[in-house]
Amino acid sequence: MVDLSFALHTISGGSTVSLFEGNLLGRSLFAVSIYPERSVELQEFPSRSQLWAFAMHNADLLTLRGHALGSWIRKENDRHVLDVVVCLPQLEDAIWLALMFSQEAIFDLRSELEIPTTRTLDIMGPESFALLSR
């Protein structure tokens, strides 16, 4: 898991790697971070040892099905982010979780596109947001 994440992040600037299924890029899944307190930001590309330490610190979550080690580069400040993400087949479920955990975006692993949560109104419609306030 760590070696694959290291290689993918080094080559492409990001990765989503599951302990059970390996590289999740290209799959019909939506990744969302619901553990913001576990996220780590680095000024430089993560080393293998930093990825290993992150994986060990988050082993309780990374050993759960549907969870993965996510890495990406925050464009605003060029920092490298390590996250524990949940990968879901339904966009609506990912949107709900992103909103519940105050996340800025969801990542579509099939199309390799970031979906800002500010655009979720276009996807879900205003009636869905009325339910969030209940």
Q: 3-state class of 45 per DSSP?
A: coil
In this structure, is the dihedral angle defined by the CA atoms of residues 95, 117, 38 and 70, taken in order, positive or negative? positive
Question: pTM for this one?
Answer: 0.86
Query: Within the chain, where are the H helices?
Result: 2-12, 48-57, 59-62, 91-100, 120-124, 126-132
**pLDDT digits (tens), the chain, 134 positions:** 999 999 999 999 999 999 999 999 999 999 999 999 999 999 999 999 999 999 999 999 999 999 999 999 998 999 999 999 999 999 999 999 999 999 999 999 999 999 998 755 555 555 554 444 44
